[in-house]
Structure 1
Amino acid sequence: MALAPQQLEEARSATRLEVREEEPTGYVLVTGSSRGIGRAIALRFASEGYAVAITYKSDQQKALETAERARRLGAADVVVLKMDVTSPESVQEAYRVLESRWPHLNVLINNAGILHVGGIEETSLEDWERVIKVNLTGVFIVTKTFLPMLRRAPWASIVNLASIAGQTGNIVASAAYAASKAGVIGLTRRLAVELAPYGIRVNAVAPSFVETDMVRSFIDTPEKRKRIEELHPLRMIIQPEDVAEAVYFLATPASRAITGQVLGVNAGRLTC
Protein backbone atom coordinates (compact mmCIF):
# COMPACT_ATOMS: atom_id res chain seq x y z
CA MET A 1 0.00 0.00 0.00
CA ALA A 2 1.21 3.53 -0.78
CA LEU A 3 1.86 5.90 2.11
CA ALA A 4 -0.67 8.64 2.83
CA PRO A 5 0.67 12.17 2.17
CA GLN A 6 1.15 12.88 5.89
CA GLN A 7 2.91 9.53 6.43
CA LEU A 8 5.11 10.15 3.41
CA GLU A 9 6.21 13.54 4.74
CA GLU A 10 6.90 12.06 8.17
CA ALA A 11 9.01 9.34 6.56
CA ARG A 12 10.93 11.90 4.55
CA SER A 13 11.58 14.04 7.61
CA ALA A 14 12.65 11.06 9.71
CA THR A 15 15.13 9.77 7.17
CA ARG A 16 16.85 12.90 5.90
CA LEU A 17 20.47 12.96 6.90
CA GLU A 18 23.24 15.47 6.43
CA VAL A 19 24.09 16.25 2.79
CA ARG A 20 27.63 17.16 1.73
CA GLU A 21 28.10 20.24 -0.41
CA GLU A 22 30.34 18.62 -3.04
CA GLU A 23 28.95 16.78 -6.03
CA PRO A 24 28.34 13.04 -5.46
CA THR A 25 30.51 10.51 -7.27
CA GLY A 26 27.19 9.06 -8.43
CA TYR A 27 23.74 8.02 -7.23
CA VAL A 28 23.06 4.45 -6.13
CA LEU A 29 20.01 2.56 -4.88
CA VAL A 30 20.56 -0.70 -2.98
CA THR A 31 17.45 -2.72 -2.20
CA GLY A 32 17.32 -4.69 1.03
CA SER A 33 20.26 -2.75 2.44
CA SER A 34 19.49 -2.46 6.13
CA ARG A 35 21.67 -5.50 6.91
CA GLY A 36 23.85 -8.27 5.48
CA ILE A 37 25.14 -8.13 1.93
CA GLY A 38 23.00 -5.10 1.04
CA ARG A 39 24.39 -3.15 3.97
CA ALA A 40 27.97 -3.96 2.96
CA ILE A 41 27.25 -2.84 -0.60
CA ALA A 42 25.69 0.44 0.51
CA LEU A 43 28.65 1.18 2.77
CA ARG A 44 31.13 0.38 0.00
CA PHE A 45 29.55 2.99 -2.25
CA ALA A 46 29.27 5.46 0.63
CA SER A 47 33.01 5.21 1.24
CA GLU A 48 33.58 6.42 -2.33
CA GLY A 49 31.39 9.50 -1.97
CA TYR A 50 28.25 8.22 -3.67
CA ALA A 51 24.77 9.37 -2.75
CA VAL A 52 23.17 6.21 -1.36
CA ALA A 53 19.53 5.15 -1.07
CA ILE A 54 18.96 2.42 1.51
CA THR A 55 15.74 0.43 1.50
CA TYR A 56 14.09 -1.74 4.11
CA LYS A 57 10.82 -3.60 4.43
CA SER A 58 10.24 -3.80 8.19
CA ASP A 59 13.27 -2.92 10.33
CA GLN A 60 13.56 0.85 10.10
CA GLN A 61 15.99 1.04 13.02
CA LYS A 62 18.53 -1.17 11.25
CA ALA A 63 18.14 0.92 8.11
CA LEU A 64 18.74 4.14 10.02
CA GLU A 65 21.82 2.65 11.66
CA THR A 66 23.17 1.70 8.23
CA ALA A 67 22.38 5.19 6.96
CA GLU A 68 24.24 6.84 9.82
CA ARG A 69 27.25 4.61 9.17
CA ALA A 70 27.11 5.49 5.46
CA ARG A 71 27.09 9.18 6.30
CA ARG A 72 30.12 8.82 8.55
CA LEU A 73 31.98 6.97 5.80
CA GLY A 74 31.49 9.91 3.45
CA ALA A 75 28.28 9.40 1.50
CA ALA A 76 27.33 12.55 -0.38
CA ASP A 77 23.68 12.01 0.52
CA VAL A 78 21.75 9.27 2.31
CA VAL A 79 18.08 8.48 1.80
CA VAL A 80 16.20 5.76 3.68
CA LEU A 81 13.17 4.30 1.93
CA LYS A 82 10.57 1.84 3.19
CA MET A 83 9.96 -0.43 0.23
CA ASP A 84 8.38 -3.82 -0.43
CA VAL A 85 9.90 -5.04 -3.70
CA THR A 86 6.87 -7.27 -4.37
CA SER A 87 4.47 -4.30 -4.29
CA PRO A 88 4.38 -2.07 -7.41
CA GLU A 89 2.65 0.62 -5.33
CA SER A 90 5.36 0.59 -2.66
CA VAL A 91 8.16 0.68 -5.23
CA GLN A 92 6.44 3.51 -7.13
CA GLU A 93 6.16 5.53 -3.91
CA ALA A 94 9.88 5.07 -3.30
CA TYR A 95 10.54 6.15 -6.89
CA ARG A 96 8.60 9.36 -6.38
CA VAL A 97 10.59 10.21 -3.25
CA LEU A 98 13.94 9.54 -4.91
CA GLU A 99 13.07 11.31 -8.16
CA SER A 100 12.11 14.43 -6.21
CA ARG A 101 15.54 14.47 -4.55
CA TRP A 102 18.06 13.19 -7.13
CA PRO A 103 18.56 14.19 -10.80
CA HIS A 104 19.11 10.61 -11.96
CA LEU A 105 20.25 7.15 -10.86
CA ASN A 106 23.65 5.77 -11.87
CA VAL A 107 23.50 2.40 -10.16
CA LEU A 108 20.69 0.04 -9.20
CA ILE A 109 21.60 -2.92 -7.01
CA ASN A 110 18.81 -5.51 -6.81
CA ASN A 111 19.79 -7.21 -3.57
CA ALA A 112 16.54 -7.77 -1.65
CA GLY A 113 15.74 -11.45 -1.33
CA ILE A 114 14.82 -14.31 0.96
CA LEU A 115 16.40 -17.70 1.60
CA HIS A 116 14.42 -20.92 1.51
CA VAL A 117 15.64 -24.44 2.24
CA GLY A 118 13.99 -27.83 2.10
CA GLY A 119 13.06 -30.49 -0.39
CA ILE A 120 10.26 -30.20 -2.91
CA GLU A 121 8.01 -32.43 -0.81
CA GLU A 122 8.28 -29.98 2.07
CA THR A 123 7.84 -26.91 -0.15
CA SER A 124 4.27 -25.72 -0.40
CA LEU A 125 2.88 -23.82 -3.36
CA GLU A 126 2.66 -20.80 -1.06
CA ASP A 127 6.39 -21.14 -0.26
CA TRP A 128 7.23 -21.41 -3.95
CA GLU A 129 5.21 -18.36 -4.96
CA ARG A 130 6.59 -16.26 -2.09
CA VAL A 131 10.22 -17.01 -2.95
CA ILE A 132 9.73 -16.39 -6.68
CA LYS A 133 7.81 -13.19 -5.97
CA VAL A 134 10.51 -11.69 -3.75
CA ASN A 135 13.66 -12.97 -5.44
CA LEU A 136 12.68 -12.73 -9.10
CA THR A 137 9.50 -10.71 -9.60
CA GLY A 138 10.87 -8.10 -7.18
CA VAL A 139 13.89 -7.58 -9.44
CA PHE A 140 11.57 -7.08 -12.41
CA ILE A 141 9.34 -4.58 -10.56
CA VAL A 142 12.19 -2.47 -9.18
CA THR A 143 14.13 -2.42 -12.45
CA LYS A 144 11.10 -1.49 -14.53
CA THR A 145 10.10 1.26 -12.08
CA PHE A 146 13.52 2.91 -11.78
CA LEU A 147 14.49 2.60 -15.44
CA PRO A 148 13.54 6.22 -16.27
CA MET A 149 16.02 7.53 -13.68
CA LEU A 150 18.73 5.20 -14.99
CA ARG A 151 18.15 6.33 -18.57
CA ARG A 152 18.67 9.97 -17.54
CA ALA A 153 22.12 9.29 -16.10
CA PRO A 154 25.34 10.02 -18.03
CA TRP A 155 26.38 6.45 -17.18
CA ALA A 156 24.35 3.70 -15.55
CA SER A 157 24.45 0.06 -14.58
CA ILE A 158 22.41 -2.59 -12.80
CA VAL A 159 23.83 -5.38 -10.68
CA ASN A 160 21.53 -8.21 -9.61
CA LEU A 161 22.28 -10.52 -6.69
CA ALA A 162 21.97 -14.07 -7.97
CA SER A 163 23.45 -17.12 -6.24
CA ILE A 164 25.54 -20.18 -6.89
CA ALA A 165 22.24 -21.99 -6.27
CA GLY A 166 21.07 -20.65 -9.63
CA GLN A 167 24.08 -22.23 -11.34
CA THR A 168 24.27 -25.68 -9.77
CA GLY A 169 21.83 -28.05 -8.09
CA ASN A 170 24.45 -29.27 -5.60
CA ILE A 171 23.55 -26.61 -3.02
CA VAL A 172 21.59 -26.85 0.22
CA ALA A 173 18.70 -24.62 -0.85
CA SER A 174 15.18 -25.33 -1.99
CA ALA A 175 14.09 -25.79 -5.58
CA ALA A 176 12.17 -22.53 -5.22
CA TYR A 177 15.29 -20.62 -4.21
CA ALA A 178 17.43 -22.21 -6.94
CA ALA A 179 14.77 -21.50 -9.57
CA SER A 180 14.40 -17.90 -8.44
CA LYS A 181 18.13 -17.25 -8.67
CA ALA A 182 18.44 -19.04 -12.02
CA GLY A 183 15.67 -16.72 -13.16
CA VAL A 184 17.66 -13.71 -11.99
CA ILE A 185 20.57 -14.88 -14.13
CA GLY A 186 18.33 -15.25 -17.19
CA LEU A 187 16.75 -11.86 -16.58
CA THR A 188 20.20 -10.30 -16.21
CA ARG A 189 21.35 -11.62 -19.58
CA ARG A 190 18.22 -10.54 -21.40
CA LEU A 191 18.26 -7.05 -19.89
CA ALA A 192 21.92 -6.65 -20.80
CA VAL A 193 20.91 -6.98 -24.46
CA GLU A 194 17.73 -4.95 -24.16
CA LEU A 195 19.24 -2.00 -22.27
CA ALA A 196 22.57 -1.83 -24.11
CA PRO A 197 21.25 0.76 -26.62
CA TYR A 198 20.70 3.11 -23.65
CA GLY A 199 24.25 2.56 -22.41
CA ILE A 200 23.00 0.70 -19.35
CA ARG A 201 25.07 -2.32 -18.38
CA VAL A 202 23.46 -5.24 -16.52
CA ASN A 203 25.44 -7.88 -14.64
CA ALA A 204 24.97 -10.28 -11.75
CA VAL A 205 26.98 -11.53 -8.81
CA ALA A 206 26.51 -15.14 -7.71
CA PRO A 207 27.84 -15.74 -4.20
CA SER A 208 28.22 -19.06 -2.45
CA PHE A 209 27.57 -19.28 1.29
CA VAL A 210 27.92 -15.79 2.82
CA GLU A 211 28.14 -15.16 6.55
CA THR A 212 25.04 -13.08 7.31
CA ASP A 213 22.29 -13.09 9.94
CA MET A 214 20.07 -14.95 7.50
CA VAL A 215 22.31 -18.04 7.56
CA ARG A 216 23.73 -17.77 11.07
CA SER A 217 22.14 -21.04 12.18
CA PHE A 218 24.27 -22.94 9.66
CA ILE A 219 27.53 -21.90 11.38
CA ASP A 220 26.57 -21.50 15.04
CA THR A 221 29.01 -24.17 16.21
CA PRO A 222 32.70 -24.76 15.36
CA GLU A 223 31.76 -28.08 13.76
CA LYS A 224 29.15 -26.50 11.46
CA ARG A 225 31.53 -23.71 10.49
CA LYS A 226 34.25 -26.21 9.61
CA ARG A 227 31.85 -28.20 7.40
CA ILE A 228 30.90 -25.07 5.46
CA GLU A 229 34.54 -24.01 5.08
CA GLU A 230 35.49 -27.42 3.72
CA LEU A 231 32.93 -27.10 0.94
CA HIS A 232 35.10 -24.37 -0.59
CA PRO A 233 38.59 -24.94 -2.06
CA LEU A 234 39.82 -21.74 -0.40
CA ARG A 235 38.62 -23.11 2.97
CA MET A 236 36.83 -19.93 3.90
CA ILE A 237 33.41 -18.52 4.55
CA ILE A 238 32.66 -15.56 2.31
CA GLN A 239 31.96 -12.26 4.02
CA PRO A 240 29.44 -9.60 2.89
CA GLU A 241 32.35 -7.27 2.14
CA ASP A 242 33.75 -9.78 -0.37
CA VAL A 243 30.48 -9.63 -2.29
CA ALA A 244 30.35 -5.85 -1.98
CA GLU A 245 33.75 -5.51 -3.69
CA ALA A 246 32.58 -7.60 -6.65
CA VAL A 247 29.36 -5.62 -6.92
CA TYR A 248 31.22 -2.31 -6.74
CA PHE A 249 33.53 -3.36 -9.58
CA LEU A 250 30.68 -4.47 -11.85
CA ALA A 251 28.57 -1.41 -11.08
CA THR A 252 31.13 1.29 -11.73
CA PRO A 253 32.84 2.51 -14.93
CA ALA A 254 35.92 0.41 -14.10
CA SER A 255 34.02 -2.46 -15.79
CA ARG A 256 32.61 -0.35 -18.63
CA ALA A 257 33.14 -3.11 -21.24
CA ILE A 258 31.41 -5.82 -19.17
CA THR A 259 27.71 -6.59 -19.46
CA GLY A 260 25.53 -9.68 -19.34
CA GLN A 261 27.99 -11.51 -17.09
CA VAL A 262 27.66 -13.48 -13.87
CA LEU A 263 30.60 -13.05 -11.51
CA GLY A 264 30.98 -15.88 -9.02
CA VAL A 265 32.07 -15.00 -5.49
CA ASN A 266 32.31 -18.56 -4.28
CA ALA A 267 35.81 -19.27 -2.90
CA GLY A 268 36.25 -21.79 -5.71
CA ARG A 269 33.20 -23.86 -4.90
CA LEU A 270 31.86 -23.94 -8.46
CA THR A 271 35.01 -25.80 -9.51
CA CYS A 272 34.16 -28.80 -7.29
Structure 2
Amino acid sequence: MQIDLTGRRALVTGAGAGIGAGIALALAKAGADVVVHYAHSADGAQEVVDTITTLGRRAKSCQADLTVSSEATALVADAAEFLGGIDILVNNAGHLVGRATVEEMSDEHWDAVMGVNVSSTFFVTRSAVPLLKASENGRVVLMSSLASENGGGAGSVAYAASKAAIVGFARGLAKELAPSNVTVNAVAPGFIGETAFHNTFTPSTAQAGIVAGIPLGRAGTADDVADVALFLASDLSSYVTGQVIDINGGLNFR
Protein backbone atom coordinates (compact mmCIF):
# COMPACT_ATOMS: atom_id res chain seq x y z
CA MET A 1 0.00 0.00 0.00
CA GLN A 2 1.39 3.39 -0.98
CA ILE A 3 1.02 6.22 1.49
CA ASP A 4 -0.66 9.27 0.01
CA LEU A 5 -0.21 12.59 1.78
CA THR A 6 -1.31 14.75 -1.12
CA GLY A 7 -2.54 18.07 0.19
CA ARG A 8 -1.12 17.57 3.68
CA ARG A 9 0.98 20.35 5.17
CA ALA A 10 4.04 19.49 7.24
CA LEU A 11 6.56 21.28 9.42
CA VAL A 12 9.74 19.33 10.17
CA THR A 13 12.23 20.82 12.60
CA GLY A 14 15.93 20.16 12.36
CA ALA A 15 15.51 19.13 8.74
CA GLY A 16 18.65 20.56 7.19
CA ALA A 17 20.53 17.27 7.47
CA GLY A 18 20.41 13.68 8.70
CA ILE A 19 17.21 12.20 10.06
CA GLY A 20 15.23 15.42 9.74
CA ALA A 21 16.14 15.80 6.09
CA GLY A 22 15.18 12.19 5.48
CA ILE A 23 11.79 12.70 7.09
CA ALA A 24 11.10 15.90 5.15
CA LEU A 25 11.90 14.16 1.88
CA ALA A 26 9.82 11.09 2.74
CA LEU A 27 6.78 13.25 3.49
CA ALA A 28 7.25 15.17 0.25
CA LYS A 29 7.62 12.00 -1.81
CA ALA A 30 4.27 10.92 -0.38
CA GLY A 31 2.72 14.20 -1.56
CA ALA A 32 3.03 16.61 1.35
CA ASP A 33 4.13 20.23 1.17
CA VAL A 34 6.89 20.84 3.70
CA VAL A 35 8.47 23.67 5.66
CA VAL A 36 12.07 22.72 6.38
CA HIS A 37 13.37 24.21 9.61
CA TYR A 38 17.07 24.54 10.36
CA ALA A 39 19.21 26.13 13.03
CA HIS A 40 22.62 26.22 11.34
CA SER A 41 22.43 24.01 8.22
CA ALA A 42 21.26 26.65 5.75
CA ASP A 43 22.85 25.03 2.71
CA GLY A 44 21.56 21.60 3.64
CA ALA A 45 18.06 22.92 4.21
CA GLN A 46 18.08 24.60 0.83
CA GLU A 47 19.16 21.35 -0.81
CA VAL A 48 16.21 19.60 0.83
CA VAL A 49 13.87 22.35 -0.38
CA ASP A 50 15.27 22.14 -3.91
CA THR A 51 14.77 18.37 -3.97
CA ILE A 52 11.20 18.69 -2.72
CA THR A 53 10.32 21.26 -5.36
CA THR A 54 11.63 18.96 -8.08
CA LEU A 55 9.06 16.45 -6.81
CA GLY A 56 6.35 18.97 -7.59
CA ARG A 57 5.63 19.85 -3.97
CA ARG A 58 5.82 23.24 -2.26
CA ALA A 59 8.68 23.79 0.18
CA LYS A 60 10.38 26.56 2.09
CA SER A 61 13.30 26.69 4.53
CA CYS A 62 13.08 28.69 7.76
CA GLN A 63 15.79 29.40 10.31
CA ALA A 64 15.08 29.62 14.03
CA ASP A 65 16.67 28.98 17.41
CA LEU A 66 13.94 26.81 18.89
CA THR A 67 15.30 27.15 22.42
CA VAL A 68 13.92 30.68 22.28
CA SER A 69 10.15 30.68 22.73
CA SER A 70 9.51 33.69 20.51
CA GLU A 71 11.51 32.22 17.63
CA ALA A 72 9.64 28.92 17.88
CA THR A 73 6.34 30.78 17.82
CA ALA A 74 7.45 32.79 14.79
CA LEU A 75 8.54 29.63 12.98
CA VAL A 76 5.13 28.02 13.40
CA ALA A 77 3.41 31.21 12.26
CA ASP A 78 5.64 31.45 9.18
CA ALA A 79 5.06 27.80 8.36
CA ALA A 80 1.30 28.10 8.75
CA GLU A 81 1.22 31.20 6.56
CA PHE A 82 3.23 29.52 3.81
CA LEU A 83 1.35 26.22 3.95
CA GLY A 84 -2.10 27.55 4.76
CA GLY A 85 -2.17 25.55 8.01
CA ILE A 86 -0.35 22.60 9.54
CA ASP A 87 -1.48 18.96 9.47
CA ILE A 88 1.79 17.25 10.39
CA LEU A 89 4.35 18.39 12.95
CA VAL A 90 7.61 16.48 13.26
CA ASN A 91 9.72 17.71 16.16
CA ASN A 92 13.09 16.34 15.14
CA ALA A 93 15.40 19.14 16.31
CA GLY A 94 17.72 18.04 19.09
CA HIS A 95 21.35 17.59 20.11
CA LEU A 96 23.64 15.76 22.52
CA VAL A 97 25.55 19.07 22.92
CA GLY A 98 28.48 17.31 24.55
CA ARG A 99 29.44 14.52 26.94
CA ALA A 100 29.73 15.21 30.65
CA THR A 101 29.35 13.15 33.80
CA VAL A 102 26.84 14.36 36.36
CA GLU A 103 29.67 15.12 38.77
CA GLU A 104 31.39 17.46 36.32
CA MET A 105 28.29 18.78 34.55
CA SER A 106 27.70 22.52 34.66
CA ASP A 107 24.31 24.18 34.99
CA GLU A 108 24.87 25.63 31.53
CA HIS A 109 25.36 22.18 29.99
CA TRP A 110 22.24 20.78 31.63
CA ASP A 111 20.19 23.79 30.53
CA ALA A 112 21.55 23.59 26.98
CA VAL A 113 20.64 19.91 26.59
CA MET A 114 17.17 20.36 28.06
CA GLY A 115 16.65 23.49 25.99
CA VAL A 116 17.45 21.99 22.61
CA ASN A 117 15.67 18.68 23.22
CA VAL A 118 12.75 19.38 25.54
CA SER A 119 11.98 23.10 25.61
CA SER A 120 12.24 23.38 21.84
CA THR A 121 9.71 20.56 21.45
CA PHE A 122 7.37 22.22 23.92
CA PHE A 123 7.64 25.68 22.37
CA VAL A 124 6.97 24.49 18.82
CA THR A 125 4.20 22.10 19.78
CA ARG A 126 2.41 24.64 21.95
CA SER A 127 2.25 27.08 19.05
CA ALA A 128 1.15 24.39 16.60
CA VAL A 129 -1.65 22.84 18.70
CA PRO A 130 -4.43 25.20 17.53
CA LEU A 131 -3.47 24.53 13.92
CA LEU A 132 -3.36 20.79 14.46
CA LYS A 133 -6.77 20.87 16.11
CA ALA A 134 -8.14 22.72 13.11
CA SER A 135 -6.80 20.03 10.78
CA GLU A 136 -8.80 16.96 9.84
CA ASN A 137 -5.59 14.92 9.92
CA GLY A 138 -3.56 16.25 12.83
CA ARG A 139 -0.37 14.30 13.47
CA VAL A 140 2.52 14.95 15.86
CA VAL A 141 5.73 12.92 15.68
CA LEU A 142 8.31 13.47 18.41
CA MET A 143 11.93 12.36 18.54
CA SER A 144 13.04 10.31 21.52
CA SER A 145 16.02 7.95 21.54
CA LEU A 146 17.27 4.54 22.61
CA ALA A 147 19.09 6.55 25.28
CA SER A 148 15.74 7.15 26.98
CA GLU A 149 15.57 3.41 27.66
CA ASN A 150 19.16 2.39 28.37
CA GLY A 151 20.65 5.62 29.70
CA GLY A 152 22.83 6.25 26.66
CA GLY A 153 26.58 6.10 26.37
CA ALA A 154 29.19 7.58 28.69
CA GLY A 155 28.60 11.19 29.59
CA SER A 156 25.07 11.38 28.20
CA VAL A 157 22.92 11.42 31.34
CA ALA A 158 21.44 14.82 30.46
CA TYR A 159 20.65 13.66 26.92
CA ALA A 160 19.06 10.42 28.14
CA ALA A 161 16.96 12.34 30.65
CA SER A 162 15.83 14.80 27.98
CA LYS A 163 14.78 12.02 25.63
CA ALA A 164 12.92 10.26 28.44
CA ALA A 165 11.08 13.53 29.00
CA ILE A 166 9.95 13.42 25.36
CA VAL A 167 8.30 10.06 26.02
CA GLY A 168 6.30 11.49 28.91
CA PHE A 169 5.44 14.56 26.86
CA ALA A 170 4.19 12.39 23.98
CA ARG A 171 1.97 10.26 26.20
CA GLY A 172 0.51 13.18 28.09
CA LEU A 173 -0.10 15.20 24.94
CA ALA A 174 -1.68 12.19 23.23
CA LYS A 175 -4.36 12.12 25.93
CA GLU A 176 -4.81 15.87 25.78
CA LEU A 177 -5.29 16.01 22.01
CA ALA A 178 -7.20 12.78 21.45
CA PRO A 179 -10.62 14.48 21.73
CA SER A 180 -9.54 16.68 18.79
CA ASN A 181 -8.58 13.60 16.76
CA VAL A 182 -4.91 14.60 16.77
CA THR A 183 -2.49 11.71 17.28
CA VAL A 184 0.82 12.07 19.08
CA ASN A 185 3.57 9.47 18.89
CA ALA A 186 7.33 9.29 19.28
CA VAL A 187 10.11 7.38 17.58
CA ALA A 188 13.18 6.18 19.45
CA PRO A 189 16.11 5.59 17.07
CA GLY A 190 19.07 3.52 18.13
CA PHE A 191 22.39 3.72 16.32
CA ILE A 192 21.82 5.64 13.08
CA GLY A 193 25.05 5.71 11.09
CA GLU A 194 26.45 8.37 8.78
CA THR A 195 25.02 11.26 10.80
CA ALA A 196 26.74 14.32 12.21
CA PHE A 197 25.57 13.22 15.67
CA HIS A 198 27.69 10.07 15.79
CA ASN A 199 30.46 11.39 13.57
CA THR A 200 30.93 14.14 16.15
CA PHE A 201 30.36 12.33 19.44
CA THR A 202 31.05 8.62 18.83
CA PRO A 203 34.57 7.45 17.88
CA SER A 204 34.78 5.12 14.87
CA THR A 205 35.95 2.22 17.02
CA ALA A 206 32.96 2.66 19.31
CA GLN A 207 30.65 2.83 16.29
CA ALA A 208 32.03 -0.46 15.00
CA GLY A 209 31.47 -2.06 18.39
CA ILE A 210 27.86 -0.90 18.48
CA VAL A 211 27.14 -2.22 15.00
CA ALA A 212 28.67 -5.58 15.93
CA GLY A 213 26.08 -5.93 18.67
CA ILE A 214 23.03 -5.13 16.52
CA PRO A 215 21.07 -8.33 15.75
CA LEU A 216 20.13 -7.15 12.25
CA GLY A 217 23.83 -6.70 11.54
CA ARG A 218 23.94 -3.11 10.35
CA ALA A 219 23.65 0.48 11.45
CA GLY A 220 20.33 2.21 10.96
CA THR A 221 19.86 4.87 8.32
CA ALA A 222 17.97 8.13 8.18
CA ASP A 223 15.53 6.43 5.82
CA ASP A 224 14.80 3.75 8.42
CA VAL A 225 13.59 6.47 10.78
CA ALA A 226 11.85 8.42 8.02
CA ASP A 227 9.78 5.38 7.02
CA VAL A 228 8.37 5.04 10.53
CA ALA A 229 7.73 8.78 10.80
CA LEU A 230 5.91 8.59 7.46
CA PHE A 231 3.66 5.84 8.80
CA LEU A 232 2.88 7.87 11.91
CA ALA A 233 2.07 10.92 9.77
CA SER A 234 -0.31 8.96 7.56
CA ASP A 235 -3.85 7.62 7.73
CA LEU A 236 -2.43 4.14 8.32
CA SER A 237 -1.72 5.16 11.93
CA SER A 238 -5.07 6.81 12.63
CA TYR A 239 -5.70 4.49 15.63
CA VAL A 240 -2.16 4.76 17.01
CA THR A 241 -1.45 7.41 19.63
CA GLY A 242 0.66 7.79 22.73
CA GLN A 243 3.14 5.20 21.45
CA VAL A 244 6.92 5.08 21.24
CA ILE A 245 8.28 3.06 18.33
CA ASP A 246 11.81 1.72 18.68
CA ILE A 247 14.01 1.77 15.57
CA ASN A 248 17.20 -0.01 16.62
CA GLY A 249 17.66 -3.23 14.64
CA GLY A 250 16.93 -5.33 17.71
CA LEU A 251 19.67 -3.73 19.82
CA ASN A 252 17.22 -3.21 22.67
CA PHE A 253 13.73 -4.42 23.51
CA ARG A 254 11.27 -2.73 25.83
**Residue of structure 2 equivalent to 1:82:** 63
Determine if the alignment matches structure 1 residue 237 to structure 2 residue 219.
yes
Give the whole-Å Cα distance in 1 for the aligned partners of 2:232 and 2:149: 19
Q: Where do 1:158-177 residues align within 5 Å?
A: 158-169=140-151, 171-172=153-154, 174-177=156-159
After TM superposition, the structure 1 stretch with the greater mean CA deviation from structure 2, 141-150 or 176-185, is 141-150
Determine if the alignment matches structure 1 residue 215 to structure 2 residue 192.
no
Between 1 and 2, higher relative CO (CA 8 Å, sep ≥ 6) is seen in 2
- Structure 2 residue corresponding to 1:103, chosen from 84, 109, 120: 84
Return the TM-score normalized by structure 2.
Answer: 0.92
Q: What amino acid is the match of 2:60?
A: V
- Aligned residue pairs: how many? 248
Q: What amino acid is the match of 2:134?
A: R
Give the whole-Å Cα distance in 1 for the aligned partners of 2:201 and 2:110: 22
Return the TM-score normalized by structure 1.
Answer: 0.86
- Structure 2, unpaired ranges of 5+: none
Following TM superposition, by how much is the alpha carbon of 1:219 offset from its aligned partner in structure 2, in angstroms?
Answer: 6.5
- Structure 1, unpaired ranges of 5+: 1-22
Contact kept? 2:23, 2:223, Cα under 8 Å:
yes
Larger radius of gyration: 1
Determine if the alignment matches structure 1 residue 32 to structure 2 residue 14.
yes
Q: What amino acid is the match of 1:54?
A: V
After TM superposition, the structure 1 stretch with the greater mean CA deviation from structure 2, 132-141 or 148-157, is 148-157
Give the match's secondary structure for 2:111. helix
Following TM superposition, by how much is the alpha carbon of 1:61 offset from its aligned partner in structure 2, in angstroms?
Answer: 1.6
Give the match's secondary structure for 1:94. helix
After TM superposition, the structure 1 stretch with the greater mean CA deviation from structure 2, 103-112 or 91-100, is 91-100
RMSD: 1.8
Give the whole-Å Cα distance in 2 for the aligned partners of 1:199 and 1:135: 26
Give the match's secondary structure for 1:206. strand
| Identical positions, percent | 33
Q: What amino acid is the match of 2:80?
A: E
Following TM superposition, by how much is the alpha carbon of 1:220 offset from its aligned partner in structure 2, in angstroms?
Answer: 6.2
Contact kept? 1:81, 1:94, Cα under 8 Å:
yes
Give the whole-Å Cα distance in 1 for the aligned partners of 2:173 and 2:74: 24
- Structure 2 residue corresponding to 1:247, chosen from 229, 233, 238: 229
Contact kept? 1:161, 1:206, Cα under 8 Å:
yes
Q: What amino acid is the match of 2:199?
A: R
Q: Residues 113, 156 of structure 1: CA spacing in aligned structure 2 closer, same or farther, 3 A cutoff? A: same
**Residue of structure 2 equivalent to 1:119:** 101
Q: What amino acid is the match of 1:134?
A: V
- Give a deviation string over 1:186-245, Cα, whole Å, max 9, x none: 000000000001100000000111121121146664x44431212312221111110000
Following TM superposition, by how much is the alpha carbon of 1:167 offset from its aligned partner in structure 2, in angstroms?
Answer: 1.4
Give the whole-Å Cα distance in 1 for the aligned partners of 2:52 and 2:202: 28
